[in-house]
Amino acid sequence: MKKSLNIAVAGLGTVGAGTLKLLAAQSDLLALRAGRPIRVTAVSARTRGRDRGVDLAGVTWFDDPVAMAREADAEAIVELIGGSDGTAKAVCETALAAGRHVVTANKALLAMHGTALATTAEDAGLTLAWEAAVAGGIPIVKALREGLVGNRISRLQGILNGTCNYILTTMRETGREFADVLDEAQHLGYAEADPSFDIDGIDAAHKLALLSALAFGAAVDFAGLHIEGIRHISAMDIEYAEELGYRIKLLGIAERGPGGIHQRVHPAMVPLAAPIAAVEGVFNGIVTEGDFVGTTVLEGRGAGAGPTASAVVADLVDIACGRRAPTFGVPARRLDTVKSLPMDNHMGAYYVRLMVIDRPGVFADIAASLRDCEISLESVLQRSRAPGGVVPVVLTTHEASESAMRRALATIGGIDAVREPPHMIRIERG
Amino acid sequence: MKKSLNIAVAGLGTVGAGTLKLLAAQSDLLALRAGRPIRVTAVSARTRGRDRGVDLAGVTWFDDPVAMAREADAEAIVELIGGSDGTAKAVCETALAAGRHVVTANKALLAMHGTALATTAEDAGLTLAWEAAVAGGIPIVKALREGLVGNRISRLQGILNGTCNYILTTMRETGREFADVLDEAQHLGYAEADPSFDIDGIDAAHKLALLSALAFGAAVDFAGLHIEGIRHISAMDIEYAEELGYRIKLLGIAERGPGGIHQRVHPAMVPLAAPIAAVEGVFNGIVTEGDFVGTTVLEGRGAGAGPTASAVVADLVDIACGRRAPTFGVPARRLDTVKSLPMDNHMGAYYVRLMVIDRPGVFADIAASLRDCEISLESVLQRSRAPGGVVPVVLTTHEASESAMRRALATIGGIDAVREPPHMIRIERG
């Protein structure tokens, strides 16, 4: 048996402890599959005494994870601290400077500093592996980087945040409102006490920025993303979506456009028959379009100790086997600095719900606003009547530009009989 | 730039020509991603003159693919001839004996000789790569072998034959009968002139045997598979499936059982909400259950020039990058010789359609036969009435053993009022 791959783990939260459990439970199997054992020689976490359900006998404890990254008896450092700067960044930089491979689940860090870290790693002949940073246990990074390596990817679309997908699924299944379901999700541990990273789309955006870099061989450009969350989705919109044959999902979408790449995270209506519409609850799913392979769909658990540990260990086995690939599919110094296209350039169909006073003539004003912006209506629904009262009117449009749509919505929002700001959700082909 | 990976391609049918087209179309991209160019130095096919839409200038032509495997200026031989023995086998063996890596799309060859070929390759330090042999462009081999490497797989279930899935999907969508839709599929090129390999489940069984070996680290045991095709599926069964909340799919299923592995290919009813039920037409899909990662689903095009070429090229890029992994996930000499469990041991639920004379007392006889074999009924449907005539009666059972079910069906088939052999389809959880 060849000598072991020694590793050190920084951060022993849910994922860190899960990784140690997996390595212990599968040690013989992993030694067989990897051709050498994987041995945890050092760990570091904030609190030393806590029982994490893992045996740390014989493992060196470091109070300072940065010191561990520099000094541990380890070929690879596993960074599971999290956060886009501070300690996590220092751990990764120190590990690479000390000639150690890095495996990380930290999407925030890579979304901000991914290109620089990849360059540092590759210049030193080291691996910076991040399967666990995106879509938990789904091997999407390996699929894009290696499995689909023969393809030019034109479009990638994913449900990348389990918290949002759980909330949207539960809203649909129960008819309840966002705030109510979020509250429940927090009690169940599916949403954080401060849920904004998830529900405002930031977490999905970090992941999309990384997948987009990998799919298009482009430098990570988090600042170029358009990001909207799901706070404004109401039970009424979900009900109308069903009636119109759609399901509402928080999507991350990256696609080639004229002269650049569109990268956007926002709620979207997708056709019920689209594979991504069937990705429910805490599951994640990613649809890719490659020029030779066509459409490929990957689904699985997007978070949690087991799935994320599965991804961390896959990266460790690659290192143990000496399997290497560029961090973002092409050498970091050859990544394109492709332009991220502004959202105004987006072309798509739209769903708009208006709360209007039910009186003759209102619809003529709305229709005129759309016509003035050269937007074609596909359908109009006014289900309820309440003469003189406020009723929902739902429109769907044919393809239009985002800028035209925004102009039209500004005008419509100003119509006296329109009593709330228009509720707009983009329609995607799924 | 490092020196090119020189390759030779044996077989220039749809997939061979598609591979050459992909390599030509993406040559710059592949050189960037792989770190070195991939260059086709030699080809061999039956007919030299034919226009295949690819430029063969500067490429050495071999009339004899075995001679090419021995003599070509190539580090890797791509075997796209097909067939479980004869030339294809000789090409692979000769290539390995000559110290060349082998990339193959040949599931029949590997289902019969996979363990032996893997042992030869690994003993010589060579790669035997087969992503293209299973599920076309879906990177399922890489996912199981590397992406999910940290998991013990308990169950794997797949739609592995696009021809059958196309036929079943079309039957459902149009209400037409099997023979009619098969005829159309042959005209459209989705089914071969001799369709038996596909529709009798052999092709799916070849693929399942390989995935099963990989998932369980077991020697390939094609002989241990239970195989049924889709010839006996009627429009009436498809209609009843819908009514009962199921969809009929030809599934390949491999799962751990007590003391061995169940490996079986047969039509099955899966719940409409199961991800695999949504895999339609020529698409393939594979669901895996891993102990840490949970359920993972991969879907994509299972055949055709582009998707298969995508898989061949992914294997070539692995070779170009020096990325290696054991052929079936663990070293070939360490593959388990796990027992394939006989179908009689299978436990599951069943759908049974009987064509019976509509007269009092018939059902009592049927129910008694089931009771005598200790099989519990879940539901009984008799939709139409035709006193004295023949009507369909549909039963579904709770979990029972295959052997008990077969005994019950033999008795039921012997009842005077039962006018056709019972039509049985297994129900799977999907």
C-beta atoms of B139 and A131 within 8 A: no
In this structure, are A84 and A218 located in the same domain?
A: no
C-beta atoms of B296 and A297 within 8 A: no
C-beta atoms of B297 and A294 within 8 A: no
User: What are the chain B neighbours of A40 within 8 Å (beta carbons)?
Assistant: none
* A320-345 mean pLDDT: 95
Q: Is residue B310 part of a domain?
A: no
Q: Is residue A333 part of a domain?
A: no
B33: amino acid identity, one letter: R
Q: Is residue A81 part of a domain?
A: yes
Q: Is residue A15 part of a domain?
A: yes
Q: Around Cβ B365, how many Cβ atoms within 10 Å? A: 16
Q: Is residue B364 part of a domain?
A: yes
Kind of pairing, strands B101-104 and B76-79? parallel
Q: For a pLDDT cut of 70, what percent of chain B falls above it?
A: 100
> Which CATH number characterizes residue A68's domain?
3.40.50.720
Per-residue pLDDT reduced to its tens digit, A199-213: 999 999 999 999 999
Per-residue pLDDT reduced to its tens digit, A172-187: 999 999 999 999 999 9
* B117-122 mean pLDDT: 98
In this structure, are B228 and B173 located in the same domain?
A: yes
* A231-254 mean pLDDT: 97
In this structure, are A161 and A293 located in the same domain?
A: yes
Average pLDDT score over chain B: 96
pLDDT at B1 over 80: no
User: Which residues face B419 on adjacent strands?
Assistant: none
pLDDT at A263 over 70: yes
A97: amino acid identity, one letter: A
In this structure, are B128 and B168 located in the same domain?
A: no
Pairwise CA distance, residues A254 & A264, whole Å: 7
- pLDDT the model gives residue B428: 96
Pairwise CA distance, residues B134 & B342, whole Å: 24
In this structure, are B145 and B127 located in the same domain?
A: no
A27: amino acid identity, one letter: S
Cβ atoms of residues A423 and A396 within 8 Å: no
* B207-220 mean pLDDT: 98
Residue B285 Cα, gap to closest chain A Cα (Å):
9
Q: Is residue A310 part of a domain?
A: no
Per-residue pLDDT reduced to its tens digit, A384-427: 888 889 999 999 999 999 999 999 999 999 999 999 999 999 99
Cβ atoms of residues B326 and B119 within 8 Å: no
Out of A139, A278, A318, closest to residue B148 by CB: A139
In this structure, are A98 and A235 located in the same domain?
A: no
- Lookup result for tokens 């020529």: B282
Q: For a pLDDT cut of 90, what percent of chain B falls above it?
A: 91
> Which CATH number characterizes residue A423's domain?
3.30.70.260
The last residue of one of the domains, among A110, A133, A156, is: A133
- pLDDT the model gives residue B193: 87
In this structure, are B214 and B129 located in the same domain?
A: no
Q: Which residues contact A418 (CB under 8 A, 6 or more apart)?
A: A354, A355, A356, A362, A366, A412
In a mutational test of the A interface, the residue from B21, B27, B296 whose CB has the highest number of chain A CBs within 10 Å is B296
Residue range(s) defining the domain that contains residue A75: 5-133
Query: Looking at the predicted complex, does its ipTM rise above 0.85?
Result: yes
Cβ atoms of residues B338 and B125 within 8 Å: no
Among candidate residues A89, A107, A142, A207, the one labeled active-site is A207
Cβ atoms of residues A8 and A65 within 8 Å: no
* B23-50 mean pLDDT: 96
Pairwise CA distance, residues B75 & A426, whole Å: 50
* A251-272 mean pLDDT: 96
pLDDT at A1 over 80: no
The last residue of one of the domains, among A301, A336, A359, is: A301
- pLDDT the model gives residue A382: 86
In this structure, are A267 and A169 located in the same domain?
A: yes
Residue A256 Cα, gap to closest chain B Cα (Å):
16
User: What are the chain B neighbours of A25 within 8 Å (beta carbons)?
Assistant: 291
In this structure, are A56 and A102 located in the same domain?
A: yes
- Is A207 catalytic? The answer is yes
Pairwise CA distance, residues A97 & A90, whole Å: 10
- pLDDT the model gives residue A191: 87
C-beta atoms of A317 and B26 within 8 A: no
Pairwise CA distance, residues B35 & B316, whole Å: 12
What is the tally of structural domains in chain A? 3
Is A328 exposed, middle or buried, given 0-12, 13-18 or 19+ CB atoms closer than 10 A?
Answer: buried
Q: Around Cβ A155, how many Cβ atoms within 10 Å? A: 16
- pLDDT the model gives residue A3: 94
Residue B25 Cα, gap to closest chain A Cα (Å):
10
pLDDT at B310 over 70: yes
Cβ atoms of residues A400 and A374 within 8 Å: yes
Q: Which residues contact B429 (CB under 8 A, 6 or more apart)?
A: B270, B271, B274
User: What are the chain B neighbours of A278 within 8 Å (beta carbons)?
Assistant: 273, 275, 278
* B163-171 mean pLDDT: 97
In this structure, are B258 and B282 located in the same domain?
A: yes
Q: Is residue B208 part of a domain?
A: yes
The last residue of one of the domains, among A84, A101, A133, is: A133
Average pLDDT score over chain A: 96
> Which CATH number characterizes residue B283's domain?
3.30.360.10
In a mutational test of the B interface, the residue from A14, A20, A26, A33 whose CB has the highest number of chain B CBs within 10 Å is A33
In this structure, are B89 and B236 located in the same domain?
A: no
- Report the range of poorest mean pLDDT among A35-39, A304-308, B120-124, B381-385: B381-385
Q: Is residue B392 part of a domain?
A: yes
Per-residue pLDDT reduced to its tens digit, B311-322: 999 999 999 999
Give the C-alpha distances (Å, rounded to integers) separating B238 from A381, B175, B264, B265, B382: 36, 8, 21, 18, 16
Nearest one of A121, A135, A288, A114 to A218, comparing CA atoms: A114
Of B273 and B353, which is predicted with more confidence?
A: B353
In this structure, are A294 and A214 located in the same domain?
A: yes
